[in-house]
Structure 1
Amino acid sequence: MQAPKGAPNVVLILLDDTGFGQYSTFGGGVPSPTMDKLAAEGIRFNRFHTTALCSPTRAALLTGRNHHSVATGVISETATGYDGYTSIIPRSAGTIAEVLRQNGYMTAWIGKNHNTPPWEASIAGPFDRWANGLGFDYFYGFNAGDMNQWNPIVYENRNLVPPSTDPKYHFTEDIADRAISWVRQVNAISPDRPFFLYLAPGANHSPHHVPQEWIDRFKGKFDMGWDRYRQETLARQKQLGVVPANARLTTRSAGLPAWDSLNADQKRIYARMMEVFAAFGAHTDHHMGRVVDAIKALPGLDNTIFIYIVGDNGASAEGGIEGSVNENLFFNGFPEKYQDNLKVIDELGGPKHFNHFPSAWAHAMCTPFQWTKQVSSYFGGTRNPMIISWPGHITDRGGLRSQFTHVIDIVPTLYEITGVTPPQSLNGVAQQPIEGVSFAYTFGDAKANSRRTTQYFELGAHRGLYHNGWMASALSFPPWQPIRTGFDPDKQKWELYNIDEDFTQSTDLAAKNPLKLRELQDLWWAEAAKYHVLPLDWRASERLNAELMGRPELGGKRSKLTYYPGQLAVPNDAAPRVLNKSWSVTADVNVPANDAEGMIVTHGGITGGYGLYLRAGKPVFSYNYLAQERYVIEAQQPLPAGKVQLKVDFNYQGAKGEFGKAATIVLSANGSKIAEGRLPQTVPIQFSLGEGMDIGQDVGSAIDFTYKLPFRFTGEIEKVAFELK
Structure 2
Amino acid sequence: MESRMAAKTPEILPRPDFHFQGEVGRTFKDSDPATFPQPVQPPEGAPNIVLILLDDVGFGQFETFGGGVPSPTMDRLSKEGLRYNYFHTTALCSPTRAALITGRNHHSAAFAGITEAATGFDGYTCILPRSCGTVGEVLRQNGYMTAWIGKNHNTPTWETSAAGPFDRWANGLGFDYFYGFNAGDMNHWHPLLFENHNLVPASDDPDYHLTEDLADKAINWVRQVKSIAPDKPYFLYVAPGATHAPHQAPQHWIDQFKGRFDMGWDAYREQTMERQKKLGVVPKDTLLTERSRGLPAWDSLNADQKRLYARMMEVFAAYGAQVDAAMGRVVDAVKDLPDADNTMIIYIAGDNGSSAEGGLEGSLNENLFFNGFPEKWEDNLKAIDELGGPKHFNHFPSAWAHAMNTPFQWTKQVASHFGGTRNPMIISWPDRIKDKGGLRDQFLHVIDIVPTIYEVCGITQPKELNGVQQKPIEGLSFAHTFADAKVPSKRKTQYFELAVNRGLYHDGWMASAPSFVPWEPTRDENWDPDQQVWELYKLDDDFSQAKDLAGKHPDKLRALQDLWWVEAAKYNVLPLDWRATIRMNAELMGRPSLVGDRTRATYREGMVALPGAACLPMLNKSWTITAEIELEDDKSEGMIVTQGGSEGGYGLYLRKGKPTFVYNYLSKERPTFASDQPLGKGKHTLVVDFKYDGGGIGKGGGVTLKANGKPVAEGRIERTVPIQFAIFEGLDVGMDNGSAVDWTYQMPFKFTGRIERVEIEVKPGK
Give the counterpart letter for 1:659 in structure 2.
Answer: I
User: How far, CA to CA, are the matches of 2:339 and 2:150 in structure 1?
Assistant: 26
In the TM superposition, what is the alpha-carbon distance from 1:298 to its structure 2 partner?
1.9
Q: 2:477 aligns with which of 422, 438, 442?
A: 438
> What SS class does the counterpart of residue 22 from structure 1 fall into?
coil
Q: Which residue in the other structure is 2:143 paired with?
A: 104
Q: Which residue is equivalent to 1:546?
A: 586
In 1, are the aligned partners of 2:635 and 2:678 still within 8 Å (CA)?
Answer: no
Match of 2:637 in 1: 597
How many pairs are equivalent? Answer: 723
Are positions 1:670 and 2:733 aligned together? no
* Corresponding residue SS for 2:340: coil
1:380 matches 2:419 = yes
Distance 2:705 2:380 in 1: 33
* Residue 627, structure 1, aligned to residue 677, structure 2: no
Q: 1:457 aligns with which of 484, 490, 496?
A: 496
Matches of 2:618 and 2:505 in 1, distance apart?
Answer: 44
1:370 corresponds to which letter in structure 2?
A: Q
**Matching residue of 1:267:** 306
TM-score (norm 2): 0.94
Task: Please give the alpha-carbon distance, in whole angstroms, between the structure 2 residues aligned to 1:92 and 1:592.
Answer: 57
2:554 matches 1:514:
yes
2:289 to 250, 254, 265: 250
Match of residue 292 from structure 1 = 331
Are 1:12 and 2:47 matched, yes or no? no
Matched with 1:613 is 653
Which residue identity does 1:363 align to in structure 2?
H
1:194: how far off? 0.3
2:740 to 702, 714, 719: 702
Matched, 1:174 2:213: yes
Q: What's 1:685 paired with?
A: 723
Asked if 1 retains the 8 angstrom alpha-carbon contact of 2:600 and 2:616, the reply is: no
Q: Counterpart of 1:301?
A: 340
1:299-357 per-position Cα deviation (integer Å, ceiling 9, x unaligned)? 23321010000000000000000000111111111111111111110000000100000
What is the one-letter code of the residue matched to 1:417? V
Aligned to 2:17: none
- The correspondence for 1:187, drawn from 207, 226, 234, is 226
**Structure 2 counterpart of 1:196:** 235
Where in structure 2 are the equivalents of 1:66-465 lying within 5 Å? 66-465=105-504
Q: In 2, Cα distance between the equivalents of 1:175 and 1:561? A: 35
> Please, what is the CA RMSD of the aligned residues?
0.6
Whole-Å separation in 2 of the counterparts to 1:710 and 1:428: 45
Alpha-carbon deviation of 1:630? 1.1
**Mapped partners of 1:481, 1:279: distance in 2:** 27
Aligned counterparts of 2:94 and 2:224: Cα–Cα separation in 1: 30
Hey, what does 1:41 align to over in structure 2? 80
Residues 35-91 of structure 1, C-alpha deviation per residue, up to 9 Å, x if partnerless? 000000000000000000000000000000000001000000000000000000000
* Match in the other structure for 2:15: none
Distance 1:583 1:711 in 2: 24
* Native 8 Å contact 1:649 1:667 kept in 2: yes
| Whole-Å separation in 2 of the counterparts to 1:223 and 1:541 | 33
Contact 2:659 2:675 in 1 (8 A): yes
Residue identity in the other structure for 2:268? Y
1:568 aligned residue = 608
Structure 1 gap segments, 5+ residues each:
none
Secondary structure at the aligned position of 1:668 is classed as strand
Measured after TM superposition, the shift of residue 594 of structure 1 is 4.9
CA distance in 1, matches of 2:67, 2:408: 13
Give the superposition deviation at 1:124. 0.5
Q: Give yes or no for contact 2:642–2:652 (8 Å, CA) kept in 1.
A: yes
Among candidates 59, 72, 92, match of residue 98 of structure 2: 59
Q: 2: CA distance between counterparts of 1:396 and 1:563?
A: 60
Partner Cα distance (1:685, 1:392) in 2: 51
Aligned partner of 1:660 in structure 2 is: 698
In structure 2, C-alpha distance between the alignment counterparts of 1:640 and 1:392, rounded to whole Å:
72
CA distance in 1 between counterparts of 2:290 and 2:619 reads 41
CA distance in 2, matches of 1:326, 1:93: 36
User: Residues of 2 paired with 1:367 and 1:624: CA distance?
Assistant: 37
Letter of the structure 2 residue corresponding to residue 240 of structure 1: L
In 2, distance between residues paired with 1:557 and 1:252?
49
The one-letter amino acid paired with 1:395 is: K
1:595–1:714: 8 Å Cα contact kept in structure 2? no
Matched-pair contact (CA < 8 Å) for 1:476–1:487:
no
Q: Give a deviation string over 1:647-678, Cα, whole Å, max 9, x none.
A: 100111123xx111011110111111111121
- Look up the match of 1:21: 60
Report the counterpart of residue 24 of structure 2 in structure 1.
none
The separation in 2 between residues aligned to 1:500 and 1:435, in whole angstroms, is 24
Provide the secondary structure at the position in 2 that maps to 1:578. coil
Provide the residue aligned with 1:487 in structure 2.
527
Work out the CA distance in 2 between the residues paired with 1:392 and 1:156: 33
SS of 2:95's equivalent in the other structure is helix
CA distance in 2, matches of 1:172, 1:595: 38
| Residues in 2 aligned to 1:342 and 1:153: alpha-carbon distance in whole angstroms | 29
Structure 1 residue 591, shift from structure 2 partner: 1.6
CA contact (8 A) 1:79 1:85 kept: yes
Structure 2 gaps, min length 5? 1-39
**1:443-471 CA distances to partner (integer Å, 9 max, x unpaired)?**
00000011000000000000000000000
For the residue of structure 2 that corresponds to 1:630, the secondary structure is coil
Task: String of CA shifts for 1:89-146, please: whole Å, max 9, x gaps.
Answer: 0000000000000000000000000000000000010000000000000000000010
CA–CA distance in structure 2, aligned partners of residues 710 and 118 of structure 1: 25
How far, CA to CA, are the matches of 1:250 and 1:322 in structure 2?
22
User: Which amino acid letter does the alignment assign opposite residue 648 of structure 2?
Assistant: G
TM-score (ref. length: structure 1) = 0.99
Q: Distance in 2 between matches of 1:42 and 1:634?
A: 62
| Matching residue's letter, 1:721 | E
Matches of 1:365 and 1:184 in 2, distance apart?
35
- Bigger radius of gyration among the two: 2
Matching residue of 1:641? 681
Shift of 1:592: 2.0
